[in-house]
């Protein structure tokens, strides 16, 4: 991986762009492709990291493809050629473009590792590729991200038309050479026959120059005159020799013409067959490219859908967690805490924590309920209260919201929570709890004492009497009570 010297830090519209870098590598065809192709290609793509709308992305751009000179060209007939085989100094690569290019990269933020598939469309444009939400990582900035490796590369590559044309011409030239050799062989055989005939002609010529017999003229009985050879060895005249040689030359010309016609037919058939298979190979290659592009497009669509689903789940989890954290964490005060009132108000809610990122999450919300102070001045334990609520609602695990010192304030907060549920389009169901009002308290608030001393409620005193240590138990000895009740009511004496 090489880092370009020129880099830009851009802050615009909530988007932060990191330093531009580049990835490069070499792809070797695995031999399963059909049609023609280069066995080795080199690829290069630039990228940078971006922070946008609370998420981290990697963006790829400027993809390139090149063909090294040591690559070989695999044609549709499964033969491979080097540059020297075709008499070329370098490989043509006008057709070698990054159609539907994909790179699967391993990305690290220094704490966590991610696998990101970056895809470029047929027009060589690449989109933003989601890495992670900023809310899900801590102490991570844009500068922490880096690419640690590349898992695979692929692109919709095929043959090079100019190289295919060179190979086609090479095949046609080879066929023409083969046909010429066949014609030369046939001509040699014909000329051999012609030499034998010429020997006869030479013999006839010699006979003309050295005649040994004469021609006799005879008259037929019908008055018609004919010329006949008196014997088989009668010498040929010059005219006969010329006619004989002309007939041989005409025969050879006719044979050559037939051979040329047959050669033309064979050449046309070979060209037609070659073109047929070349067209079939090209069609197969194009079909393979279309199938590969469709596969890449399907993979890209699947990745896009999965990325959208993951983004949606992350958004669900973030928003719902924020709502819950704004209202949960309620507790019942300890006895040591100073609380001015003897009755507090709460509401509670419950949900399936495993479904917090589900589109169909349901939130259960209770009514507002009171919790009163015990007569001894203490409050119920928070865990006891939660257990009581769970028993009343089939064991539901609830979150407590409160405390609130008035029912009106608690109801207002409950309505705010319900509004938050509606804003997030969650389903809402009801929980029910009546609260704890069984033990009305003896007020522990400090009230102004009368000028006659502290007044004690006897009924309450009797309830707590047995709970007090013996040395401070109220005594009834020496108690005097007026039959009429006295001006100031009933009094007791404490030893």
Task: Give mean pLDDT, residues 350-375.
Answer: 93
Residues 173, 136, single domain; the answer is no
Task: Give mean pLDDT, residues 182-208.
Answer: 50
Please tell me the predicted confidence (pLDDT) of residue 13: 35
Report the distance separating Cα 176 and Cα 270, nearest Å: 10
2 pLDDT more than 50: no
Please tell me the predicted confidence (pLDDT) of residue 294: 83
Give the other-Cβ count within 10 Å of 28's Cβ: 10
Residues 153, 194, single domain; the answer is no
Q: How many domains does the chain have?
A: 3
Cβ-based neighbours of 212, under 8 Å, separated by 6 or more: 233, 235
Residues 122, 64, single domain; the answer is yes
End-of-domain residue from the set 408, 431, 454: 431
CA dist 350 → 79, 240, 360 (Å): 70, 126, 15
219 pLDDT more than 50: no
In a domain, residue 219? The reply is: no
Report the distance separating Cα 98 and Cα 460, nearest Å: 90
Residues 279, 152, single domain; the answer is no
493 pLDDT more than 70: no
Residues 136, 263, single domain; the answer is no
CA dist 381 → 24, 332, 385, 432 (Å): 64, 7, 6, 20
Residues 182, 294, single domain; the answer is yes
Q: Which of 127-136, 172-181, 384-393 reaches the highest mean pLDDT?
A: 384-393
> What is the three-class DSSP state of 154?
strand
* Nearest CA among 325, 361, 358, 331 for reference residue 344: 331
In 333-468, which residue ranges form alpha helices assigned H by DSSP?
A: 382-392, 407-423, 458-465
Q: What sign does the CA torsion over 177, 183, 189, 195 have?
A: negative
Tens-digit pLDDT profile for residues 381-394:
999 999 999 999 98
Cβ-based neighbours of 324, under 8 Å, separated by 6 or more: 349, 351, 399
Cβ-based neighbours of 28, under 8 Å, separated by 6 or more: 39, 40
Tens-digit pLDDT profile for residues 447-478:
444 444 444 444 444 444 444 444 434 444 44
Residue 180 pLDDT grade (very low, low, confident, very high; cuts 50, 70, 90): low
Q: Among 242-256, 366-380, 472-486, which stretch is predicted with the lowest mean pLDDT?
A: 472-486
Two structure tokens written together for 410: 């608690």
In a domain, residue 408? The reply is: yes
Two structure tokens written together for 463: 């309830």
163 pLDDT more than 70: yes
Residues 205, 137, single domain; the answer is no
Residues 69, 192, single domain; the answer is no
In a domain, residue 17? The reply is: yes
In a domain, residue 44? The reply is: yes
Phi-psi category of 335—alpha, beta or left, where left has phi over 0 and alpha has psi -120 to 50? alpha
State the Rg of the chain over Cα. 54
Residue 439 pLDDT grade (very low, low, confident, very high; cuts 50, 70, 90): low
End-of-domain residue from the set 290, 312, 334: 312
Residues 147, 173, single domain; the answer is no
Report the distance separating Cα 259 and Cα 237, nearest Å: 33
Report the distance separating Cα 117 and Cα 351, nearest Å: 35
Task: Give mean pLDDT, residues 417-428.
Answer: 94
Is-contact 313 340, C-beta < 8 A?
Answer: no
Report the distance separating Cα 382 and Cα 403, nearest Å: 11
Report the distance separating Cα 435 and Cα 347, nearest Å: 10
Two structure tokens written together for 225: 């005159």
Residues 103, 46, single domain; the answer is yes
Residues 382, 411, single domain; the answer is yes
In a domain, residue 263? The reply is: yes
DSSP letter assigned to residue 100: T
Whole-number mean pLDDT of the chain?
A: 76
User: Residue 404: what are its φ and ψ, rounded to 5°?
Assistant: -125, 140
Our measurement of the distance from residue 30's CA atom to the centroid of its chain's CA atoms, rounded to an integer in Å, reads: 21
The range of the structural domain enclosing residue 412 comes to: 343-431
In a domain, residue 291? The reply is: yes
Is-contact 330 346, C-beta < 8 A?
Answer: yes
What is the pTM (predicted TM-score) of this model?
0.38
Greatest alpha-carbon pair distance for the chain in Å reads: 202
In a domain, residue 58? The reply is: yes
In a domain, residue 185? The reply is: yes
Please tell me the predicted confidence (pLDDT) of residue 283: 82
Residues 391, 414, single domain; the answer is yes
> What is the three-class DSSP state of 347?
strand
């Amino acid at each position: 991986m090489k880092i370009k010297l020129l880099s830009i830090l851009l802050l615009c519209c909530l988007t932060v762009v990191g330093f531009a870098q580049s990835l490069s590598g070499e792809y070797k065809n695995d031999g399963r492709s059909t049609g023609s192709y280069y066995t080795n290609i080199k690829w290069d793509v630039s990228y940078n990291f971006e922070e946008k709308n609370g998420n981290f992305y990697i963006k790829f751009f400027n993809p390139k493809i090149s063909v090294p000179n040591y690559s070989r060209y695999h044609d549709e007939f499964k033969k491979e050629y080097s540059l020297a085989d075709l008499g070329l100094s370098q490989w043509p690569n006008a057709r070698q473009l990054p159609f539907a290019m994909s790179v699967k990269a391993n990305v690290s933020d220094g704490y966590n590792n991610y696998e990101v598939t970056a895809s470029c469309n047929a027009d060589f444009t690449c989109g933003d590729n989601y890495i992670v939400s900023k809310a899900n990582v801590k102490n991570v900035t844009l500068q922490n991200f880096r690419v640690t490796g590349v898992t695979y590369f692929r692109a919709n590559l095929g043959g090079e038309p100019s190289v295919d044309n060179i190979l086609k011409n090479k095949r046609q030239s080879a066929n023409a050479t083969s046909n010429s050799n066949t014609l030369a062989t046939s001509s040699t055989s014909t000329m051999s026959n012609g030499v034998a005939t010429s020997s006869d002609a030479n013999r006839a010529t010699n006979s003309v120059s050295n005649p040994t017999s004469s021609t006799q003229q005879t008259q037929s009985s019908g008055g018609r005159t004919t010329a006949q050879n008196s014997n088989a060895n009668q010498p040929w005249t010059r005219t006969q020799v010329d006619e004989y040689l002309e007939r041989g030359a005409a025969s050879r010309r006719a044979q050559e013409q037939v051979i040329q016609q047959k050669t033309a037919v064979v050449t046309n058939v070979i060209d037609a067959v070659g073109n047929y298979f070349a067209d079939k190979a090209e069609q197969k290659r194009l079909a393979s490219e279309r199938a590969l592009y469709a596969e890449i497009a399907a993979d890209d669509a699947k990745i896009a859908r999965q990325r959208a689903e993951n983004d949606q789940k992350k958004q669900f989890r973030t928003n719902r967690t924020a709502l819950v954290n704004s209202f949960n964490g309620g507790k019942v005060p300890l006895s040591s805490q100073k609380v001015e009132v003897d009755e507090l108000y709460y509401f509670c809610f419950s949900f399936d924590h495993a479904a917090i990122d589900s589109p169909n999450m349901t939130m259960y919300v209770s009514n507002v309920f009171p919790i009163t102070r015990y007569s001894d001045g203490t409050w119920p334990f928070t865990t006891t209260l939660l257990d009581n609520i769970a028993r009343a609602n089939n064991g539901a695990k609830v979150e407590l919201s409160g405390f609130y010192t008035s029912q009106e304030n608690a109801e207002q907060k409950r309505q705010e929570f319900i509004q938050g549920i509606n804003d997030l389009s969650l389903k809402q169901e009801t929980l029910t709890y009546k609260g704890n009002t069984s033990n009305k308290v003896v007020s522990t608030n400090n009230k102004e004492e009368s000028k006659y001393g502290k007044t004690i409620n006897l009924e309450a005193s009797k309830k707590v009497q047995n709970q007090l240590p013996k040395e401070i138990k109220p005594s009834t000895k020496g108690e005097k009570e007026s039959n009429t009740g006295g001006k100031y009511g009933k009094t007791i004496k404490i030893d």
